[in-house]
């Protein structure tokens, strides 16, 4: 290993010698992402010089084990006759402290945790929604089971209406009461006055003109289901819509600026999966002239990445009680499929695929507006291809959709028409065989 390539970062620290601040760094590594501490290396990545004896190495290992209760990996490196020590620490599965103090790594610095951050760290293995609320009783819940979420959840579990159900048994069956104590999930979903308990658990919706001029601003609180339903209502007042006449029934049909199903799915995902440990931030929905951003506090939970969201992926539930209750009530169709449904719904409506990103401890979904209608007169296309472009304005199509309009034309000819549209970069092709679909290409 060449020490000149070493630069301090979130997972790398350089020390000339092993002193008390080195223990703080290792503690921070264990509480963050793990990392390597290099002893005998100066800040400018040059070596201090000399050798490190076996006895000195063992002293360092003993100090780490005794002070931090973790087992490091130690590797002795040599460069031009000079030795330096690499001390490797993995991310710990439990909070690590140094004499009762906790540290974490932020960039290339080590920082002591505040009392609130310590509390979050100590409870990190207990999902937020499963934690119990002291001083909150069953009387604080809307427990008459007349709320739609309660009725639907009960019917899903028992196959009957909850006419004679003991209310407390119902909540215990769902895991919303533990040892007679109310959980955060119960209060957030069924609390009759939960806002004072969770002032941060809200949705803020803004409509912008340009990039910074706010023309509408709404903050929605109360129960989780109220946040979902009221957010949908408010967003509909801020979006444009048009009408189209369906070909078969001649009924007038609403066509929204963005597909409401995709927006609802994104809001539901934010409510279910946001990090409720972060108690100074809301879910934010920002509606711009050409795109929508739906952002929630917290990065993705461990075990899932942004790239995985674009394809079939495992379900990683940060708030399992909330997720399970909403699944029982029918709000969640199937775990791990929400982002794929967004993608499918947007494509059918003629929109680009959603974009997912993580930044500054927030997770954001971006929906882009549908492209401007294609100027058919400017394209050197045959009649069938013009029809295909027209059909694709309303969403993705298959060869069979075009063939229905030209039943007298050979299917191979229809496929060739669509292939030429792909070659001209007007269409994008997905799938294979009978599952092949075509949609308009989008450029930003």
Same domain, 286 and 140: no
Task: Find the mean pLDDT for residues 222-232.
Answer: 92
Residue 401 lies in a domain: yes
Judge whether residue 144 has pLDDT over 60: no
Q: What CATH number is associated with residue 426?
A: 1.10.10.10
Q: Averaged over 417-433, what is the pLDDT?
A: 88
The residue out of 346, 368, 390 marking a domain boundary is 368
- Binning pLDDT at 50, 70 and 90, where does residue 128 land? confident
Least confident of 158-167, 269-278, 310-319, 368-377: 158-167
Helices 338-348 and 260-273, interaxial angle, to 10°?
160
Q: Within this chain, do residues 30 and 8 fall inside the same structural domain, yes or no?
A: yes
CB 152 within 8 A of CB 168: no
Indicate the number of domains in the chain. Answer: 4
Residue 321 CB neighbours (<10 A): 23
Query: So what's the pLDDT on residue 173?
Result: 80
Residues 214 and 339 reside in one and the same domain: yes
Assess if residue 35 is contained within a domain. yes
User: Does residue 131 sit in helix, strand or coil?
Assistant: coil
* List of E strands, 250-290: 252-256, 283-287
Last residue of a domain, one of 313, 340, 368: 368
Domain match, 109 and 55 both: yes
In a domain? residue 120: no
∠ CA 326-323-114 to the nearest 5 degrees?
A: 135
Residue 35's domain is classified under what CATH number? 3.30.950.30
pLDDT band at 153 (very low <50, low <70, confident <90, very high): low
Looking at every residue in the chain, the average pLDDT score rounds to 85
pLDDT at 351: 87
Residue range 98-126, pLDDT digits in tens: 998 999 998 899 999 888 788 777 776 67
Tell me the pLDDT tens digit for each residue of 236-251.
Answer: 999 998 887 765 666 7
Give residue 443's pLDDT: 46
pTM score, whole prediction:
0.64
Same domain, 37 and 66: yes
Residues 305 and 402 in one domain: no
Asked whether 171 and 137 are in contact (CB, 8 A), the reply is no
Q: From the DSSP assignment, how many helices (H) and strands (E) are in the chain? A: 13, 19
**Residue 42, in any domain of the structure:** yes
- Together in a domain, 212 and 338: yes
How far apart CA 338 and CA 312 sit, in angstroms, is 10
Percent of the chain with pLDDT strictly greater than 70: 88
Q: Which of 394, 395, 386, 373 has the alpha carbon at shortest distance from 421? A: 386
333-345 average pLDDT score: 83
- Per-residue pLDDT, 444: 40
HEC letters along 225-241: HHHHHHHHHHHHHHCCE
Q: Is residue 181 part of a domain?
A: yes
CATH number at residue 259: 3.30.565.60
Is the predicted pLDDT of residue 288 greater than 70, yes or no?
A: yes
Q: Could you read off the pLDDT of 177-213 as tens digits, one per residue?
A: 888 888 999 889 888 765 456 889 999 999 999 988 9
Q: Using CA atoms, how far apart are residues 271 and 269, in angstroms rounded to an integer? A: 6
Q: Pick the range with the lowest mean pLDDT from 42-51, 217-226, 266-275.
A: 42-51
Structure confidence by residue, pLDDT tens digits, 372-393: 766 666 778 899 998 998 888 7
Determine the structural domain holding residue 327 and report its residue range: 203-368
One domain, residues 244 and 329? yes
């Amino acid at each position: 290993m060449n020490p000149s390539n070493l630069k301090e970062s979130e997972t790398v620290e350089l020390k000339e010698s092993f002193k008390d601040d080195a223990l703080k760094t290792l503690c921070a590594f264990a509480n963050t992402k793990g990392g390597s501490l290099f002893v005998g290396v100066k800040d400018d990545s040059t070596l201090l010089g000399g050798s490190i004896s076996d006895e000195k190495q063992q002293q360092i290992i003993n100090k780490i084990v005794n002070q931090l209760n973790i087992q490091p990996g130690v590797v002795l490196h040599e460069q031009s006759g000079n030795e330096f020590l690499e001390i490797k620490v993995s991310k710990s599965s439990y909070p690590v402290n140094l004499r009762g103090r906790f540290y974490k790594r932020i960039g290339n610095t080590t920082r002591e945790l505040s009392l609130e951050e310590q509390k979050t760290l100590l409870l990190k293995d207990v999902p937020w929604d499963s934690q119990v609320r002291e001083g909150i009783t069953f009387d604080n819940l809307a427990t008459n089971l007349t709320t739609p979420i309660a009725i639907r959840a009960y019917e899903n579990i028992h196959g009957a209406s909850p006419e004679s159900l003991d209310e407390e048994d119902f909540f215990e069956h769902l895991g919303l009461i533990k040892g007679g104590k109310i959980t955060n999930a119960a209060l957030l979903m069924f609390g009759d006055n939960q806002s004072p308990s969770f002032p941060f658990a809200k949705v803020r919706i803004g409509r912008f003109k340009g990039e910074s001029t706010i023309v509408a601003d709404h903050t929605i609180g109360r129960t989780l289901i109220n946040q979902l339903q009221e957010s949908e209502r408010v967003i509909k007042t801020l979006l444009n819509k048009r009408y189209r006449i369906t070909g078969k029934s001649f009924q007038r049909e609403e066509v929204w600026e963005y597909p409401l199903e995709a927006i609802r799915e994104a809001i539901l995902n934010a409510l279910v999966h946001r990090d409720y440990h972060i108690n100074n931030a809301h879910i934010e929905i920002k509606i711009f002239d050409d795109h929508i951003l739906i952002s929630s506090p917290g990065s993705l939970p461990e075990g899932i990445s942004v790239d995985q969201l674009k394809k079939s992926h495992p379900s990683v539930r940060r708030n399992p009680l909330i997720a399970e209750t909403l699944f029982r009530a029918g709000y969640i169709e199937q775990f791990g499929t929400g982002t794929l449904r967004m993608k499918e719904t947007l494509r059918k409506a003629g929109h680009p695929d959603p974009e997912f990103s993580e930044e500054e401890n927030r997770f954001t979904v971006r929906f882009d507006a549908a492209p401007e209608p294609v100027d058919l007169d400017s394209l050197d296309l045959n009649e069938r291809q013009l029809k295909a472009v027209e059909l694709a304005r309303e969403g993705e199509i298959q060869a069979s959709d075009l063939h229905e309009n030209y039943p007298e034309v050979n299917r191979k000819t229809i496929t060739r028409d669509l292939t030429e549209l792909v070659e001209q970069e007007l269409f994008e092709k997905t799938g294979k065989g009978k599952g092949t679909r075509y949609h308009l290409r989008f450029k930003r």
